[in-house]
Structure 1
Amino acid sequence: MLPLSIRAKAMNKQQGFTLIELVIIIIVLGILAAIAIPKFTNLSSDARLASLRGMEGAMRSGANLIHSKAVIIGADKDAITTDIDGVNMQLHSGYPVGNWINGIRYIVNLDAINFSQSATICDADWCGRGNQVRLPSGITTTQPGRIGKVYPRGYSWNDKCGVYYINHEDGRPAVIGLETEDCK
């Protein structure tokens, strides 16, 4: 049997954390959370940008496909209205014009995308507007060219968040790009 003094020391041996250790662990977890939370909150804006890039790629592919079909049927010069895959589409230099009704909405089969006024917030998955000469970011086109833009839910034409399409109507290929400054 152990002497009493050794048994008493063994019984006083603590189990678990001290208060200081617990406070230090809480502080370390707080610092880690402060670093990690902003990274997770950026996921929604990353998803929106990925969606915009997907729409940009689809619009670019659609415009190139329409242009290829226009070249095949000889509709790649000047302004023309022609039937492409059963759709009466306005083209200039073989690319759809920047008009919403007769051009842009057909690039990526945008019948399901709502046409909207410039200040109207989009309440559908995607909204669009065309026949403009200036984007909110300041990008302009030469006359008689026109600009159109497709933008996601929660934004309007006036916001710098969307995929734009420009047909300068001067023989150059259509320009497709992103406005992302206001995307949150």
Structure 2
Amino acid sequence: MKKLSNVKGFTLIELVVVIVILGILAATAAPKFIDLTGDAKASVMQGVQGSINSAADLAHAKALVEGETSSSASISMAGETVNLAFGWPTNASIVDLIDIDESVSFAAGAFFHLESNDQANCRVTYNNNLTNINGRPEITAVDLDAC
């Protein structure tokens, strides 16, 4: 009987080595193709929205305790004078109540992410256009998918 001495194919060790090398290449190359910065910017803006909500609620609670619920009043919080309208911070005063990152800008009652691809849409707005004490300011995240 004649034995086959010329066997063709790969050994198990060779296959494992190739799979490990491909895994290492995929792990180092994948982050270059997956861009998560938009999600991170949207998360920053969601955090800003939560901070605005909390700051407005705290200011409103203090205004209620001090009896400052008229159409034009002010309170002192954290060393800042906060102007109020019906017990809620005015559009211009809300920025004094929160400590925001330098990547976020404030203008005319809206907070923008400065590094966003679409600053006009990636924003959080604070709108205190109340006409009586029974309302609450609108705090809205606008199109965070555009970040």
Q: What TM-score results when the alignment is normalised by the length of structure 2? A: 0.73
Could you tell me which residue of structure 1 aligns to residue 64 of structure 2? Answer: 71
**Equivalent of residue 34 in structure 2, options 26, 40, 44:** 40
Is residue 62–residue 108 contact of structure 1 (8 Å, CA) maintained in 2?
yes
User: Equivalents in 2 of 1:81, 1:128: separation in Å?
Assistant: 21
| Deviation readout 1:96-138 (Å, 9 max, x if unpaired) | 1112xxx12123145xx6xxxxxxxxxx4111102xxxxxxxx
**Equivalent of residue 112 in structure 2, options 151, 154, 158:** 151
Structural mapping, 1:104-123, within 5 Å: 104-109=94-99
Q: Return closer, same or farther for 1:14/1:157 CA change in 2, 3 Å cut-off.
A: closer
The count of residues paired between Structure 1 and Structure 2 equals 131
Could you tell me which residue of structure 2 aligns to residue 127 of structure 1? Answer: 105
User: Equivalents in 2 of 1:88, 1:155: separation in Å?
Assistant: 31
Larger Rg: 1
**Equivalent of residue 139 in structure 2, options 172, 176, 182:** 176
CA RMSD between the two structures: 3.2
User: Equivalents in 2 of 1:68, 1:157: separation in Å?
Assistant: 35
Is residue 49–residue 180 contact of structure 1 (8 Å, CA) maintained in 2?
no
Q: Could you tell me the percent identity over the aligned residues? A: 21
Report the secondary structure of 2:146's partner residue. Answer: coil
Letter of the 1:45 partner, please give it. G
Unaligned runs of 5+ in 2: 12-18
Per-residue deviation, 1:86: 2.7
| Deviation readout 1:2-50 (Å, 9 max, x if unpaired) | x4x22xx2x2211329xxxxxxx9xxx9xx9xxx88x932x22221111
User: Equivalents in 2 of 1:86, 1:45: separation in Å?
Assistant: 35
User: Equivalents in 2 of 1:98, 1:156: separation in Å?
Assistant: 25
Letter of the 2:94 partner, please give it. I
Is residue 117–residue 146 contact of structure 2 (8 Å, CA) maintained in 1?
no
> 4+ runs of 1 displaced by more than 6 Å?
none
Per-residue deviation, 1:77: 2.2
Structural mapping, 1:4-43, within 5 Å: 5-6=2-3, 9=4, 11-16=5-10, 40-41=34-35, 43=36
